[in-house]
Amino acid sequence: MVDQYLPGACNIGPAEIARRRRAGHVGLILTVVLAAVLLALDAAPAWRLTLALPAALAAAGYLQAWLRFCANFGFRGVYNFDALGREERVAELRLETVYPVEREAEVVRALRAAHPYEEPAFDLYALVDPSA
Protein backbone atom coordinates (compact mmCIF):
# COMPACT_ATOMS: atom_id res chain seq x y z
CA MET A 1 0.00 0.00 0.00
CA VAL A 2 1.17 3.51 -0.78
CA ASP A 3 1.65 5.63 2.33
CA GLN A 4 3.02 8.77 0.77
CA TYR A 5 1.74 11.40 -1.63
CA LEU A 6 2.16 10.48 -5.31
CA PRO A 7 1.15 13.40 -7.57
CA GLY A 8 -1.84 12.50 -9.72
CA ALA A 9 -1.99 8.95 -8.35
CA CYS A 10 -2.56 8.77 -4.59
CA ASN A 11 -3.79 11.42 -2.17
CA ILE A 12 -5.50 9.52 0.67
CA GLY A 13 -4.09 7.24 3.33
CA PRO A 14 -5.54 4.31 5.31
CA ALA A 15 -8.02 6.31 7.42
CA GLU A 16 -9.42 8.17 4.42
CA ILE A 17 -9.56 4.93 2.40
CA ALA A 18 -11.60 3.31 5.20
CA ARG A 19 -13.93 6.34 5.19
CA ARG A 20 -14.45 6.00 1.42
CA ARG A 21 -15.08 2.26 1.77
CA ARG A 22 -17.70 2.94 4.48
CA ALA A 23 -19.38 5.46 2.18
CA GLY A 24 -19.47 2.75 -0.49
CA HIS A 25 -21.07 0.30 1.95
CA VAL A 26 -23.69 2.87 2.99
CA GLY A 27 -24.49 3.67 -0.64
CA LEU A 28 -24.81 -0.02 -1.49
CA ILE A 29 -27.11 -0.69 1.48
CA LEU A 30 -29.26 2.34 0.61
CA THR A 31 -29.48 1.16 -3.01
CA VAL A 32 -30.62 -2.33 -2.00
CA VAL A 33 -33.15 -1.03 0.56
CA LEU A 34 -34.54 1.55 -1.86
CA ALA A 35 -34.78 -1.06 -4.62
CA ALA A 36 -36.70 -3.40 -2.31
CA VAL A 37 -39.10 -0.62 -1.29
CA LEU A 38 -39.67 0.48 -4.88
CA LEU A 39 -40.31 -3.09 -5.99
CA ALA A 40 -42.63 -3.79 -3.03
CA LEU A 41 -44.63 -0.67 -3.84
CA ASP A 42 -44.62 -1.49 -7.56
CA ALA A 43 -43.35 2.05 -8.16
CA ALA A 44 -43.49 3.61 -11.59
CA PRO A 45 -40.32 3.24 -13.69
CA ALA A 46 -39.58 6.97 -13.33
CA TRP A 47 -39.33 6.54 -9.54
CA ARG A 48 -36.85 3.70 -10.02
CA LEU A 49 -34.40 6.23 -11.42
CA THR A 50 -33.88 7.42 -7.85
CA LEU A 51 -31.74 4.29 -7.42
CA ALA A 52 -29.02 6.14 -9.31
CA LEU A 53 -28.31 8.47 -6.37
CA PRO A 54 -27.32 5.93 -3.71
CA ALA A 55 -25.72 3.74 -6.40
CA ALA A 56 -23.53 6.69 -7.43
CA LEU A 57 -22.57 7.22 -3.77
CA ALA A 58 -21.57 3.56 -3.53
CA ALA A 59 -19.60 3.67 -6.77
CA ALA A 60 -17.79 6.89 -5.81
CA GLY A 61 -16.86 5.53 -2.38
CA TYR A 62 -15.59 2.20 -3.67
CA LEU A 63 -13.68 3.75 -6.59
CA GLN A 64 -11.95 6.31 -4.39
CA ALA A 65 -10.97 3.60 -1.91
CA TRP A 66 -9.70 1.33 -4.68
CA LEU A 67 -7.76 4.07 -6.50
CA ARG A 68 -6.55 5.68 -3.22
CA PHE A 69 -7.52 8.98 -4.79
CA CYS A 70 -10.12 11.55 -3.72
CA ALA A 71 -11.19 13.77 -6.62
CA ASN A 72 -12.25 16.55 -4.25
CA PHE A 73 -8.81 16.52 -2.60
CA GLY A 74 -7.20 16.54 -6.04
CA PHE A 75 -9.17 19.62 -7.14
CA ARG A 76 -8.34 21.41 -3.90
CA GLY A 77 -4.64 20.48 -4.01
CA VAL A 78 -4.59 18.67 -0.66
CA TYR A 79 -3.84 15.17 0.59
CA ASN A 80 -4.23 13.25 3.86
CA PHE A 81 -2.16 10.31 5.12
CA ASP A 82 -2.78 11.17 8.77
CA ALA A 83 -5.85 11.22 11.01
CA LEU A 84 -9.23 12.00 9.48
CA GLY A 85 -9.76 15.68 8.83
CA ARG A 86 -6.05 16.54 8.82
CA GLU A 87 -5.27 17.77 5.33
CA GLU A 88 -1.94 18.96 3.96
CA ARG A 89 -1.52 21.25 1.00
CA VAL A 90 0.46 20.13 -2.04
CA ALA A 91 3.42 22.38 -2.77
CA GLU A 92 2.89 24.17 -6.06
CA LEU A 93 5.37 25.95 -8.26
CA ARG A 94 4.61 28.78 -10.65
CA LEU A 95 7.21 29.36 -13.32
CA GLU A 96 7.32 32.30 -15.70
CA THR A 97 10.03 32.65 -18.30
CA VAL A 98 10.84 34.23 -21.64
CA TYR A 99 12.56 32.19 -24.32
CA PRO A 100 13.28 32.50 -28.05
CA VAL A 101 10.42 31.20 -30.19
CA GLU A 102 12.71 28.73 -32.00
CA ARG A 103 13.31 26.92 -28.68
CA GLU A 104 9.61 26.44 -27.82
CA ALA A 105 9.58 22.68 -28.53
CA GLU A 106 12.66 22.21 -26.35
CA VAL A 107 11.09 24.23 -23.50
CA VAL A 108 7.85 22.20 -23.66
CA ARG A 109 9.81 18.91 -23.60
CA ALA A 110 11.73 20.12 -20.54
CA LEU A 111 8.49 21.15 -18.76
CA ARG A 112 6.92 17.75 -19.39
CA ALA A 113 10.06 15.87 -18.31
CA ALA A 114 10.39 17.82 -15.04
CA HIS A 115 6.71 17.80 -14.02
CA PRO A 116 5.53 15.09 -11.56
CA TYR A 117 2.01 14.76 -13.05
CA GLU A 118 1.17 12.73 -16.13
CA GLU A 119 -0.07 15.86 -17.92
CA PRO A 120 1.27 19.18 -16.62
CA ALA A 121 -0.73 22.37 -17.09
CA PHE A 122 1.02 25.25 -18.76
CA ASP A 123 0.22 28.20 -21.03
CA LEU A 124 2.47 29.65 -23.69
CA TYR A 125 2.04 33.24 -24.88
CA ALA A 126 3.82 34.78 -27.82
CA LEU A 127 5.21 38.23 -27.15
CA VAL A 128 4.69 40.31 -30.27
CA ASP A 129 6.17 43.71 -30.94
CA PRO A 130 3.24 45.74 -32.36
CA SER A 131 5.59 48.24 -33.98
CA ALA A 132 7.31 45.55 -36.09
Domain segments of the chain: what residues? 14-89
Of 44-58, 78-92, 93-107, the least confident: 78-92
Grade residue 3 by pLDDT with cuts at 50, 70 and 90. Answer: low
CA torsion angle for 90, 20, 66, 77 (degrees, to 10)? -10
Residue 30: which pLDDT band, with cuts at 50, 70 and 90? very high
Q: Find all residues with CB under 8 Å of 30, minimum gap 6, and list them.
A: 54, 57, 58
More confident residue, 25 or 7: 25
* Range 100-122 average pLDDT: 80
pLDDT at 104 over 70: yes
Average pLDDT, the chain: 83
DSSP 8-state class, residue 72: H
Put simply, whether the predicted model's pTM sits higher than 0.75 gets the answer no
What integer is the mean pLDDT of 99-125? 80
88 pLDDT band (50/70/90 cuts)? low
Rg of the chain taking only CA atoms, in angstroms: 23
CA distance 126 to 124: 7
